[in-house]
Chain A
Amino acid sequence: MCTTCGCATDLPHQHGASGPTHSHAPGLSQQRMVQIEQDILGSNNRYAAANRARLAEQRILTLNLLSSPGSGKTTLLTRTLTDLAATQPSYVIEGDQQTNHDAERIRATGVPALQINTGRGCHLDAHRVGHAIDELAPTADSWLFIENVGNLVCPAAFDLGEHHKVVILSITEGEDKPLKYPDIFAAADLLLLNKIDLLPYLDFDVEQAVAYAHRIRPGLPVIRLSARSGEGMDAWYQWLQQRHQAIVTHHHREPHPSIVA
């Protein structure tokens, strides 16, 4: 390899004043292959890993909430925060293309919330979420809810450093959403079937929807709930508490980095 310009050829070539810095001698093949093997989302994944490490250090349970627009994510979240306000410190990062509406709805519950406007972007990324965590400065053992942009496609590919992706499907949508948008269901650790109070008025087939979700992700836990009536919300809170407990237990089991040889 040429130590001046770093190119792979052993053939003579020139540098410097006689031409552009890396111009090779005329008549010789100038083409070469550069093997880089880089993940296109590599930088996002590095930011996500940094977020994950710091959230683990402070035992902050972090959920990435995903759904299509209008599934009732924000209502579910405000209900959750209101119900848990007395016992569980929480923080919220809101992702939307435009407006502060959702962050304002969250702040009305008394919970600190930060709005990220993605502009033309269709998803949150780990870098912006990292800055949002800096700004929110969540306390140790709190819960951090990240409400992603309402979109069942793109957010699936972007790791934010969360512990779990939670997908919300409302029964006013089709049962076959898991088949139509499989990536998001494949990436989720929990499915919340929302607006279950409307079941008497709709033709939604719950068993069919769950069966479709299990085609994509066998064994995916499903909680049927209504953020409006409160039905099923306790099961959701229990799941959150279990997941937080798992993080705390894991944290105590892991040796502190400073005492590892």
Chain B
Amino acid sequence: MHEMSLAERIVEIITEQAQQQPFTRVLRVRLEIGTLAAVEPEALRFGFTVVSRDTVAEAATLEIVERPAQGWCFTCSVAVTIVRRGDPCPHCGGWQLQISGGDEMRIYDLEVV
């Protein structure tokens, strides 16, 4: 969706952290992204490469850890894992699902020098 503005936010957060911690260069950024967060990893990587230029995060590797969404099927009364929105319950094929999580977009940690 708006990977460029997400990349800008990531670089902003890292720049703030660089002042607080402090550190001079970021080697690796580990992100936790929910499978329903509608983030396109390649677009995010591209955006990050562009906006991190001339910052402490320049040339850092983006590592994206996917977090699956959990759903509760009211028909089956079981917890299910949801891969995409609009997918039915894998047990009954229905859509009486309450979905929790899967929309996380977090910076988990940074490897820095």
Partner-B contacts on A (CB < 8 A): 5-7, 20-22, 30-43, 121-123, 153-154, 156-157, 178-179, 182-183, 186, 214-216, 218
Partner-A contacts on B (CB < 8 A): 1-2, 5-6, 9-10, 12-13, 17, 20-24, 27, 31, 36-38, 74, 84-86, 88, 95-99, 103-113
Residues in B neighbouring A186, C-beta threshold 8 A: 85, 99
If the complex has contacts A157-B103, A182-B86, are A34 and B10 also in contact, measured as CB distance less than 8 A? no
Residues in B neighbouring A6, C-beta threshold 8 A: 20-22
Complex Cα spacing A236 to B5, Å:
34
Complex Cα spacing A123 to B9, Å:
15
B21 touches A7 (CB 8 A): yes
Q: Which of A30, A33, A36 has the most CB of B within 10 A?
A: A36
Complex Cα spacing A202 to B28, Å:
53
Which 10 A-B pairs have CB atoms at the shortest separation, nearest pair first?
A182-B85, A215-B95, A40-B105, A30-B113, A35-B109, A34-B110, A154-B2, A154-B1, A153-B1, A182-B86
Residues in B neighbouring A22, C-beta threshold 8 A: 22-24
20 examples of A-B residue contacts, CB within 8 angstroms:
A22-B23, A33-B111, A35-B108, A35-B109, A36-B17, A36-B107, A37-B107, A37-B109, A38-B13, A38-B106, A40-B6, A40-B9, A40-B31, A41-B105, A154-B2, A157-B2, A214-B95, A215-B88, A216-B95, A218-B96
Q: How far is the CB of B54 from chain A (nearest CB, A)?
A: 17
Number of A-B contacts (CB under 8 A): 103
Residues in A neighbouring B13, C-beta threshold 8 A: 36, 38, 40, 42
A121 touches B95 (CB 8 A): no
- For A38, give its contact among B5, B97, B107, B113 (CB under 8 Å): B107
A218 touches B21 (CB 8 A): no
B27 touches A157 (CB 8 A): no
Since A32-B23, A40-B105 are in contact, a sample of 11 more A-B pairs with Cβ atoms closer than 8 Å, ordered by chain A residue number, is A31-B27, A32-B112, A34-B110, A37-B107, A37-B108, A37-B109, A39-B104, A41-B6, A121-B2, A122-B5, A218-B74
A36 touches B110 (CB 8 A): yes
Q: How far is the CB of B24 from chain A (nearest CB, A)?
A: 6
If the complex has contacts A43-B9, A157-B38, A186-B99, are A34 and B17 also in contact, measured as CB distance less than 8 A? yes
Complex Cα spacing A215 to B20, Å:
46
Q: How far is the CB of B47 from chain A (nearest CB, A)?
A: 12
B23 touches A34 (CB 8 A): yes
If the complex has contacts A33-B111, A123-B2, are A7 and B23 also in contact, measured as CB distance less than 8 A? yes
A40 touches B10 (CB 8 A): yes
